[in-house]
Copies of this chain bind each other. A is one copy, B any other.
Amino acid sequence: MRTVYLDNNATTRTAPEVVEAMLPFFSDSYGNPSSMHSFGGKVARHVREARERVAALLNADPAEILFTSCGTESDNAAIMGTLQSYPDKRHFIMSRVEHPAVLNVGHHLRARGYRVTELGVDGEGRLDLEEFRNALDDDTALVSIMAANNETGVLFPIETIARLTRERGIPFHSDAVQAVGKIPLDMKKIPVDMLSLSGHKLHAPKGIGALYIRKGTRFTPFLVGGHQEAGKRGGTENVPAIVALGKAAELALHHMGEENGRVRALRDRLERELLRRIPNSLRNGSEQERLPNTTSISFEYVEGESILLMMDAEGICASSGSACTSGSLEPSHVLRAMGVPFTAAHGSIRFSLSVYNTDEDVDHVIAKLPPIIQRIRDISPFWKDYKAGKPLSALLAGGAGDHGHSH
């Protein structure tokens, strides 16, 4: 069966060129770059080249790139590494719609006695800059705000945030895991202090990430061990994956135009046609200020899980909420923060595209999804009641609690 993969914000296909680039470093050039012999030493050159390529994608200096094992480690390292560097400051600011790799660290810090501010978003998923400005104070050790939301694709004004934090002398970290490779990010223009990226969101393999750390930023190592990564991270360099990330960064630069042209057009057509063909469907999040590859659509009065299962039977891969938090029947924390009503939030589906998607992929979804939604609604008591004009309160009293909807 044809597989239509529209879950690229969860993970991407490793580009064949990337696999080819990393292959020699498993069984042939397998030396340890920290070794004193040339067999190890010659590998170090490839690590250096990969660092240059990742730096080029961000218009940064290679010395500002720290390789990590994933986006989550980059986020943890940025936050814990900064807080350890400012032991007297006890205030941390993040948004309510961060990825769990930041959000749960924030909650963990609160449990350890930190004051943690969680900034809200409006109905379009956008930050209130006035609220943000008011949250900054002399005790603020760090601000961590994502560059783009993983569920809705909504972009945050990190350039403005970076200028505001810089004025106050407060370090600013941005989880840019979903943004890097999809939109241009220029570290010479955006005065962010630290920025996380993840390989497997941009066609490198899982198990590799990076943290941009601007020169002069105070940083305490998170992974403590040997002297690798200029003393900033212990652990033998993951050479094949580092080389892979370098190659993927090079490809991402090359594909940036296509991502923002052809892929955006595919996404727009998919979204437009689904909203047009399926009644009671609505887009979640700002239409304009978002990633070119993502759309989050709510189908009212149906369960996202049912939609996913029936799409799966047609070979269509997408997600409800984020893969990192799926398995739970709780509606997405992102949609809740945006105030999306539960009748819509529960039926939300994220479609996330990549350069590997085609017109045929979009045609397939446009053809298959409307009847799927109709079939689910046909057996849904909520939909019947809604069509019969019964009010929401009646629906709830009528047993929706059994389905975990009433909280």
Answer yes or no: A7 CB below 8 A from chain B CBs.
yes
Answer yes or no: A367 CB below 8 A from chain B CBs.
no
Contact among B32, B227, B228, B323 for A35, CB-based, below 8 A: B323
Asked whether B205 lies within 8 Å of A208 as measured between CB atoms, the reply is: no
Bound CA span A228–B99, Å: 14
Answer yes or no: A241 CB below 8 A from chain B CBs.
yes
The A contact surface, by secondary structure, is: loop
Give residues of chain A (11-45) contacting chain B, Cβ–Cβ below 8 Å: 11-16, 18-19, 23, 26-27, 30-32, 34-40
Give residues of chain A (350-396) contacting chain B, Cβ–Cβ below 8 Å: none
Asked whether A73 lies within 8 Å of B235 as measured between CB atoms, the reply is: yes
Answer yes or no: A332 CB below 8 A from chain B CBs.
no
Give residues of chain A (206-244) contacting chain B, Cβ–Cβ below 8 Å: 206-208, 223-228, 234-241
Q: Write out the residue numbers on chain B whose beta carbons fall within 8 Å of the beta carbon of A11.
A: 30-32, 35, 40, 236
Asked whether B312 lies within 8 Å of A38 as measured between CB atoms, the reply is: yes
A294 smallest CB distance to B (angstroms): 16
Answer yes or no: A404 CB below 8 A from chain B CBs.
no
Q: Write out the residue numbers on chain B whose beta carbons fall within 8 Å of the beta carbon of A206.
A: 236-241
Asked whether A235 lies within 8 Å of B71 as measured between CB atoms, the reply is: yes
Contact among B14, B309, B327 for A30, CB-based, below 8 A: B14
Asked whether A36 lies within 8 Å of B326 as measured between CB atoms, the reply is: yes
Answer yes or no: A100 CB below 8 A from chain B CBs.
yes
Bound CA span A19–B20, Å: 12
Asked whether A104 lies within 8 Å of B225 as measured between CB atoms, the reply is: yes
Output the nearest chain B residue to A220 by Cβ-Cβ distance. Answer: B108
Asked whether B3 lies within 8 Å of A70 as measured between CB atoms, the reply is: no
Answer yes or no: A317 CB below 8 A from chain B CBs.
yes
Asked whether A36 lies within 8 Å of B305 as measured between CB atoms, the reply is: yes
Contact among B7, B105, B205 for A40, CB-based, below 8 A: B7
A60 smallest CB distance to B (angstroms): 23
Q: Write out the residue numbers on chain B whose beta carbons fall within 8 Å of the beta carbon of A38.
A: 312
Bound CA span A364–B203, Å: 43
Contact among B36, B76, B319, B328 for A319, CB-based, below 8 A: B36
Output the nearest chain B residue to A228 by Cβ-Cβ distance. Answer: B324
Answer yes or no: A10 CB below 8 A from chain B CBs.
yes
Q: Write out the residue numbers on chain B whose beta carbons fall within 8 Å of the beta carbon of A238.
A: 69-70, 205-207
Answer yes or no: A266 CB below 8 A from chain B CBs.
no
- With A11-B32, A38-B312, A312-B37 in contact, is A69–B224 under 8 Å at CB? no
A154 smallest CB distance to B (angstroms): 20
Output the nearest chain B residue to A324 by Cβ-Cβ distance. Answer: B226
Answer yes or no: A5 CB below 8 A from chain B CBs.
yes
Asked whether A10 lies within 8 Å of B32 as measured between CB atoms, the reply is: yes
Bound CA span A138–B311, Å: 58
Output the nearest chain B residue to A321 by Cβ-Cβ distance. Answer: B36
Answer yes or no: A101 CB below 8 A from chain B CBs.
yes
Asked whether A317 lies within 8 Å of B224 as measured between CB atoms, the reply is: no
Bound CA span A311–B5, Å: 52
Bound CA span A207–B360, Å: 37
Contact among B10, B72, B320 for A235, CB-based, below 8 A: B72
Question: Which 4 pairs show the lowest CB-CB distances between chains A and B?
Answer: A226-B324, A69-B69, A207-B238, A101-B225
